Amino acid sequence: MKKHNFSSGPAILPLPVFEQAAEAVRDFNGMGLSILEISHRSPEFTAVMEEANVLIRDLLNVPDDYAILFLQGGASSQFFMTAMNLLDQDAKAGYIDTGSWSTKAIKEAQAFGTVETLASSKPDNFTYIPKGFAIPEDLAYVHITTNNTIYGTQFKTLPETSVPMVGDMSSDIFSQPVDVSRFDLIYAGAQKNMGPAGATLVIVRKEALGKVKRHIPTMLDYRTHVKKDSAFNTPPVFPIYVSMLTLRWIKANGGIPAMQQKNAAKAELIYREIDRNPMFKGTVTDPADRSTMNATFVLAEGKEHLNDEFMQLCKAANCSGVKGHRSVGGFRASMYNAMEIESVQALVQVMQSFERKFG
């Protein structure tokens, strides 16, 4: 029996993707070889890379002057690579601090130039997205984390500025349309909406590169990977292949507009129940900031002792991965693209049955 997988990442992917991926591990495209043993320079895998590239360009309307890269090391490596490549020692960048990942990005960037935190919701445990802050015009870039998995918040509109942005979209890329032209660089660990762990997507405006004066090791210089189409060295073949299958699935299922609609319906369903059910309360203070990807909630006041009981009901109903991040506690329902609304309905039923039993 397949579980309802609410894991925050690595996360649910479409069932047909798992089927095709498993088959490719046995025999890839009838080659008589597993996808795990073929050369990354074989025509068969080069075609996979090209298809992934075309799908991303198509789904997100990526302008021609942007390169699409598949790297390794996760968003955590992008925290320093973005600053290393885009922020000169005597330049300034602005960061919006909306959660643990933003905080880490700020820390890593500080080694490379001047970093200004333009706004932060840290004093309120990141329960909202800061708004109305000023963005100086002299910044090299403004960095935002578009969706905060741990705290369940999401930028619903981009900050108003003519300064180019850098966006960590690890947990909401491909879930809604994005105006790529507003960004000099977008990065995303694959392991939520795009694929399994082990690949990192970077979309970068080529003209933004090569402007800093410092030495950059070859593998950390985005230009290396632009020039070699992400095959300067051996790329993570299987994670890229599974990402391509997932992108194909997104396209075949209506593209980004359809994903956005489906995600909105799932979010509405879970948040309606969180607001209605007296056993729970949402953790995000401004409902406008609520993430469509990760709904975070805790037990209502006076009910905190029922944590294990709720988790047991979840388990009995085959809902897995509902536990909140260790730094905030409570519960988190991650509802990435591949999650069907039936799974959210199953969780809502658990919440209602919990109310009947313990309310």
Encoded one letter per residue, x for contact with a second copy by CB under 8 A and - for no contact, window 24-53 reads: -xx----xxxx-xxxxx-------------
Q: Which of 49, 75, 169, 244 binds a second copy (CB under 8 A)?
A: 75
User: Which of 48-56, 145-153, 259-267, 318-326 is the region at the interface with a second copy (rule: CB under 8 A)?
Assistant: 318-326
Distance CA 317, CA 48 (A): 38
> Would you count residue 196 as binding a second copy (CB under 8 A)?
yes
Taking contact as CB under 8 A, which single stretch among the options 90-98, 100-108, 159-167, 253-261 is the one that binds a second copy?
100-108
Q: What is the DSSP letter of 78?
A: H
Instruction: Give the residue, chosen from 46, 72, 161, 345, that forms a contact with a second copy under the rule CB under 8 A.
Output: 72
Whether 249 sits among the annotated catalytic residues: the reply is no
Query: Which structure tokens are listed for 175?
Result: 């879930």
Indicate whether 235 belongs to the interface with a second copy (CB under 8 A): yes
CA distances from 20 to 245, 246, 248 (A): 8, 10, 12
Site stretch for a second copy (CB under 8 A), options 226-234, 273-281, 342-350, 351-359: 226-234
227 is catalytic: no
Burial of 60 (0-12, 13-18, 19+ CB in 10 A): buried
Residue with tokens 């085959």: 318
In degrees, to the nearest 5, what angle opens at C-alpha 77 toward C-alphas 59 and 116?
95
CB of 82 to a second copy, least distance (A): 11
Binding of a second copy by 236 (CB under 8 A): yes
In the complex, minimum distance from the CB of residue 38 to a second copy, in angstroms, rounded to a whole number:
6
Among 87, 186, 237, 314, binds a second copy (CB under 8 A): 237
How large is the angle between the packed helices 237-252 and 43-59, nearest 10 degrees? 40
168 included as an active-site residue: yes
Cβ proximity to a second copy, 18 vs 358, nearer residue: 18
* Residue of 66, 74, 119, 212 that binds a second copy (CB under 8 A): 74
Q: SS3 of 27, please? A: coil
Q: Which of 97, 101, 172, 221 is catalytic?
A: 101
Sign of the C-alpha dihedral, residues 150, 200, 58, 209? positive
- Exposed, middle or buried, 305 (CB in 10 Å: 0-12/13-18/19+)? exposed
Shortest reach from residue 147's CB to a second copy, in Å: 16
123 binds a second copy (CB under 8 A): no
Which residues line the annotated binding site for pyridoxal 5'-phosphate?
75-76, 101, 149, 168, 191, 233-234
Distance CA 268, CA 246 (A): 24
Residue placing its CB nearer to a second copy in the complex, 61 or 218: 218
* From 168, 172, 221, 289, active-site residue: 168
Q: Do 11 and 192 form a contact (C-beta atoms < 8 A)?
A: yes
**Distance, CA of 311 to CA of 196 (rounded, Å):** 26
Q: Catalytic: which of 172, 184, 192, 266?
A: 192
User: Should residue 23 be labelled a site residue for a second copy when binding is judged by CB under 8 A?
Assistant: yes
Residue 277, phi-psi category: left (phi > 0), alpha (psi -120 to 50), beta (remainder) = beta
Contact at 8 Å (CB) between 320 and 7? Answer: yes
- Using CA atoms, how far apart are residues 114 and 94, in angstroms rounded to an integer? 9
Annotated binding site for L-glutamate: 8, 41
Catalogue the active-site residues: 101, 168, 192
Instruction: Give contact residues for a second copy (rule: CB under 8 A).
Output: 1-3, 5, 7-13, 18-19, 21-23, 25-26, 31-34, 36-40, 72-77, 79-80, 84, 104, 107-108, 111, 189, 191, 195-199, 215, 217-220, 232-239, 242, 318, 320-321
